[in-house]
Structure 1
């Protein structure tokens, strides 16, 4: 029993001494994707140009944060004509708003590797508070962070109300962050 207590105390002390890490997204091993129904069919898409900084404090996740962007001009739904239309003023207006940004305002641990985030999502010149859970798994030299959450594209004035295109968009994140 005494050895177990000593081991637990050592683990707690050691984890509290872990330094906070400043990490960068590894774009080649990350994915920022989305799915939306259009004419009854799921349309998958993605963005590239992932950059920013992710601060991880493993000893106290409430002191962790992220501030990352993607390049709107990289939108890819595998149909060039649609991608070009989505970059226009009636959708993302990539000329005026070239980035989508997500910046955390609060991160809290939930259970195991699951965390809760409150953040500001900015796209098409509109910033809204969002909340979502994510998983952060330690990997060699950093973390793999994954999450799926939904948002309403009309909240950001992305397109107009439509009988053929859904308002709800599912965002899928898989971000590898390393030193």
Structure 2
């Protein structure tokens, strides 16, 4: 009996050592971006969200994010522009079908504002970025929301053009058990 209780305790400790695992869902999530073109703001979105999030707001040292979106789903409400963005000079979806983020650390401040740092890969370029976010419990999971800026040229997305180098990404990711 003591052996059985000992095994159960070891298993419970092992389970407690990891964050709760949540599956990111495309349904209920949105990934949008804005960028200036000829000085006018335009934007678009992506779908095809996949991945897992390990999250425990009380112990962020164990948290992890491994998320990707389908680059082929870029949608700016302009088919000609969308097809151009899928080509080799921009997202090159034939060779690089997914845009992926894998976390390396998560921090939280006193006001429950989180920051996830990790590796963002677009095409064949990977860069470390830090992304501020909030986490709100919803339907047995969480909604992770935030925004961050990127330089498209850091990821070799497009060349010199009338499009701004800087863009803002807005996200609302729903993940559930």
Q: What TM-score do the two structures reach when normalised by structure 1?
A: 0.86
Distance 1:19 1:104 in 2: 15
Give the superposition deviation at 1:110: 1.3
Which shifted more, 18-27 or 69-78? Answer: 18-27
Give the superposition deviation at 1:146: 0.5
Structure 1 counterpart of 2:168: 170
Give the number of aligned pairs.
Answer: 162
Structure 1 counterpart of 2:30: 31
RMSD: 1.4
Give the superposition deviation at 1:178: 0.5
Structure 1 counterpart of 2:116: 117
Q: Deviations over 1:75-105 (max 9, x none)?
A: 0000001000000001110000000001110
Distance 1:86 1:61 in 2: 36
Structure 1 counterpart of 2:158: 159
Say whether residues 1:72 and 2:83 are aligned partners. no
Structure 2 counterpart of 1:57: 56
Q: What TM-score do the two structures reach when normalised by structure 2?
A: 0.87
Give the superposition deviation at 1:36: 0.5
Unmatched tracts of structure 1, length 5 or more = 1-16
Distance 1:146 1:99 in 2: 21
Q: Deviations over 1:27-75 (max 9, x none)?
A: 1100011111011111111111000000112330121010000001100
Unmatched tracts of structure 2, length 5 or more = 1-15
Which shifted more, 81-90 or 111-120? Answer: 111-120
Give the superposition deviation at 1:134: 0.7
Q: Is the 1:113–1:137 Cα contact (8 Å) retained in structure 2?
A: no
Q: Secondary structure of 1:95's match?
A: coil
